[in-house]
Amino acid sequence: MLKQRKDFLGLYDVPGEDIKEILTTAQSMKDIFTRSIKKVPTLRGKTVVNLFFEPSTRTKSSFDLAAKRLSADVMSISKKSSSVVKGETLLDTARTMERMGADIVVVRHSHPGAARYLANNLQAAVLNAGDGAHAHPTQGLLDIYTIWEKFGEIKGKKVLIIGDIAHSRVARSNIWGLLNLGAEVRVCGPSTLIPNRLEKTGVKIYNNIDRAIEDVDAINILRIQLERQESGLFPSLREYRFLYGINEERQNNLKEEALVMHPGPMNRGVEIESSVADGRKAVINEQVTNGVAIRMALLYLLAGKEVQHENLA
Amino acid sequence: MRTLLKNCTPVDPKNELPDRADILLEDGQIAKITNSQTGKNNNQNDKTLDLKGAMLLPGLIDMHAHFREPGFEEKETIRTGSEAAAAGGFTTVVVMPNTRPVADNPATIELIKARAAEVPVDVKPLGSITKGSAGNELAEIGFLAQSGVLGLTDDGQPVMNSEVMRRAMEYASDFNLPIISHCEDLKLAAEGVMHEGYYSSILGLKPIPAAAEEIMIARDIALAELTGASLHIAHLSTKRGLEMVLEAINKGIKVTAEVTPHHLTLNDKAVLGYDTATKVNPPLRSEEDRQALQQALKEDEIAVIATDHAPHTIEEKMGTFDSAAFGISGLETAVAVLHEDLISQQKLHWDKLVELMYYNPAEILQLEVEGLKEGTPADLTVFNPKKKWQIDPGKFKSLGKHSPYAGKDCTGKILLTIKEGQIIYDDRGDEAEILY
């Protein structure tokens, strides 16, 4: 099924079976990391273009590295250094890259639906690297992969996402991916940061963090942005930290084997205490490593229509 | 020159008419209406059109359209807007004052009237409530009244200051002009781009709560009660807004409301896929809201259907949902869509449509109309209920070639639009023609 997709834009319509295929593919990609030569010829002759219209450190470098480890040719365009500043439209920039031979366009943009818009108008495969508050499927998948790697199963696991759900593409991708795999998904945050009618997706909504963390297998702590406080969505970072921040006491109330995740970049001392971020339950650094594997898996699966599987060996 | 329209099905709830009629047009007027079965109308010299049972309505009135001239002629002009009106079966269109400059002064109104005189469709301007529609100081409402505006509105730029709105209502009453209100609390709408609900939540698009509209409807009703002014709520889109309007009407407050074809036939689910053609203000609302509006049509709670025809250039409607302009190019699809989704489904009667799109807007704007009556101007709309076609915005006469109905299959289309006895739109041949 996955190999019939031209694009990969979100996890909303990706069935659990397909997500598992991505996870197992990522697992074999991860094996490559332990080799002395961390590169395979799988995507040799393919061109991947990273179009980043928003600042990004980890996602952009992660895609960059993923494509390079598969031997693809990589071009990276960012907003400041491109003709976007001269008024060129998103589509014209993308078309220019396509006409230079891009097989896969990886796009990050601040507008929801931007990746879909390119997908509808380009022949190249489009991989969504984050579109506004809509979706960030590779982040969702790497979070899911991290849980899957630890527990061997997602179905029936209880996962809690904490913080600014309303403005978070990471939350939306985690929610759909986890639900499609049969997990119980909880979200927790002040009501001002929970979008309207979210319960219709099947998630459970909490406003009390201490109740929300009871009996969960993993928590995923979202970055809280100062501008949300400035626009009146909560009174102060200090109060947010008190009500929703994960400190050592809350960490200790988690199940022994529970995982603490954060998609980064972290505000240490706000949504997560340093002692938790660097503590025994944290898998935040593993998430970063898994991100490269997940992105390799998706690049491979999207380009894979003509790619020989044995190239992976 | 006399023209005989044979075998039409006249629709007019206020005049006694035969089921099947022959209408004789002479000197721009309806000269004679006779029963097709029994009457004798044949004169060798008459130009005769056999309408084969097509519906014949009084020329429809759209009391809410944006023709963009002066200032935004790349989006629409009075000429292209009129052609769109003719193609959609409208012989009278009331145009919004959010031009550049804003129609807040007699000179701009005179310019619009001069342009309007060059086209056969009646294009009638509204004036703004405040100078520049900035919401601060009253426009020169007395001068605007003298230059012939039919009403006052800051459509698209709602008057946020309640004190200013109160004084506008009081002052407008002196000139017997209705205030037409675009109800939106801009702070609460907070740069949103679609209706707040499940779909905005999963699409990650900035939401506009229904309350942003409802709060201002409540305010304007309170001010209408306070001042005794005539208030018309533009493009009502929510269930609660409807309930408030109904309550106000029952209390005897002078308030009327209009709905658009798109709020009657589409809901916020249409935004899935981020089609910018569905981006409109007020946004497409929930299915519950849509059904309440549809139900209200039956129960006479809504006075008017108006298109809120809001054309934009291709460039303004392409791109991402966030970057696209609000607005639907609606003149050329309104009647066909209402027929397809409401009349054919027995949810709206033809007679009712004529009240909603002819008699009631005329009454609100104090236009004298008499319907299908001998000795009155022959402004007529002929609708062929059997013609099968597919909506293709690329073929619109309007410069705004964007529609959420693109690709929709319809049975039923405007066949002829007649203004003062002249056929100004003719779709009997292979290609629909504008004849002026």
- Gap from A242 CA to chain B (nearest CA, Å): 27
Residue B25: strand pairing partners: B3, B30
Q: How many CB atoms lie within 10 A of CB B351?
A: 13
ipTM: 0.93
Interchain CB distance below 8 Å, B200 and A195: yes
**B201 close contact with A: CB closer than 8 A:** yes
Evaluate if residue B336 carries a pLDDT over 50. Answer: yes
Token code pair at residue A272:
């997560």
Q: Are strands A104-109 and A125-131 parallel, antiparallel or unpaired?
A: parallel
How many pairs of residues across A and B have Cβ atoms under 8 Å apart?
A: 63
Chain A contact residues (CB < 8 Å to B) = 12, 89-91, 109-114, 116-117, 131-135, 166, 169, 172, 195-198, 200-201
Interchain CB distance below 8 Å, A197 and B204: no
What architecture is domain A2-135+291-312? 3-Layer(aba) Sandwich (3.40)
Residue B111: strand pairing partners: none
Domain A137-288 of CATH type 3.40.50.1370: yes
Mean pLDDT, residues A23-36: 94
pLDDT in tens, A211-235: 999 999 999 999 998 888 888 999 9
Distances (CA, A) of B278 to A10, A235, B395: 21, 35, 19
Q: Which of B308, B341, B379, B426 is catalytic?
A: B308
Interchain CB distance below 8 Å, B274 and A112: yes
**B319 close contact with A: CB closer than 8 A:** yes
SS3 B302: coil
Query: Most A CBs within 10 Å: which of B203, B268, B285, as the mutation test of the A interface?
Result: B203
Report the distance separating Cα B417 and Cα B382, nearest Å.
6
Per-residue pLDDT band for A53 (boundaries 50, 70, 90) equals very high
Evaluate if residue B184 carries a pLDDT over 80. Answer: yes
Which chain A residues are closer than 8 Å to B202 by Cβ? 12, 172, 201
Interchain CB distance below 8 Å, B320 and A169: no
Evaluate if residue A312 carries a pLDDT over 60. Answer: no
Report the distance separating Cα B261 and Cα B342, nearest Å.
10
Give the model's pLDDT for residue A307.
53
Helix (H) or strand (E) holding B422: strand B422-426
Evaluate if residue B40 carries a pLDDT over 90. Answer: no
Give the model's pLDDT for residue B41.
62
Give the model's pLDDT for residue A225.
85
Length of chain B equals: 436
SS3 B50: strand
Interchain CB distance below 8 Å, B202 and A201: yes
Look up B220 and say whether it is catalytic: no
Closest Cβ–Cβ partner in A117, A169, A172 for B320: A117
Q: What class has domain B2-56+374-434?
A: mainly beta
Which chain A residues are closer than 8 Å to B200 by Cβ? 195-196
* Exposure on the CB side of residue B230, measured as CA atoms within 13 A: 15
Which chain A residues are closer than 8 Å to B197 by Cβ? 196-197
Candidates 3.40.47.10, 3.20.20.140, 3.40.50.12160, 3.40.50.620; correct CATH number of B59-364?
3.20.20.140
Evaluate if residue A286 carries a pLDDT over 80. Answer: yes
Please enumerate in sequence order all residues whose Cβ is within 8 A of that of A210, keeping only pairs 6 or more positions apart, or say none. Answer: A250, A253
Q: Where are the domains of chain A?
A: 2-135+291-312, 137-288
SS3 A15: coil
Assessment of whether the complete model's pTM goes beyond 0.80: yes
Q: Where are the domains of chain B?
A: 2-56+374-434, 59-364
Quick check: A188 and A224 in contact, CB under 8 A? no
Backbone φ, ψ for residue B93 (5° rounding): -130, 130
Which regions of chain A does DSSP assign to beta strands (E)? 47-52, 73-78, 104-109, 125-131, 158-162, 184-188, 204-206, 218-221, 259-261
Dihedral in degrees, nearest 10, Cα atoms B268, B273, B275, B281: 30
- Find the angle CA(A55)-CA(A278)-CA(A188) to the nearest 5 degrees: 70
* Residue of chain B whose Cα is closest to the Cα of A10: B203
SS3 A204: strand
Backbone φ, ψ for residue B152 (5° rounding): -130, 140
Residue B409: strand pairing partners: B390
Please enumerate in sequence order all residues whose Cβ is within 8 A of that of B187, keeping only pairs 6 or more positions apart, or say none. Answer: B160
Mean pLDDT, residues B54-80: 98
Interchain CB distance below 8 Å, B198 and A114: no
Rounded to the nearest integer, the mean pLDDT of chain A is: 93
Distances (CA, A) of B55 to B58, B382, B416: 10, 6, 10
- Find the angle CA(B379)-CA(B383)-CA(B389) to the nearest 5 degrees: 140
Interchain CB distance below 8 Å, B322 and A111: yes
Report the distance separating Cα A135 and Cα A125, nearest Å.
17
Annotate A245-290 with three-state secondary structure. Answer: CECHHHHHHCCCCCEEECCCCCCECCCECHHHHCCCCECHHHHHHH
**B59 close contact with A: CB closer than 8 A:** no
Please enumerate in sequence order all residues whose Cβ is within 8 A of that of A237, keeping only pairs 6 or more positions apart, or say none. Answer: A224, A226, A229, A270
Report the distance separating Cα B366 and Cα A53, nearest Å.
53
Measured over the CA atoms of residue B265, residue B271, residue B273 and residue B278, the dihedral's sign is positive
Report the distance separating Cα A63 and Cα A174, nearest Å.
19
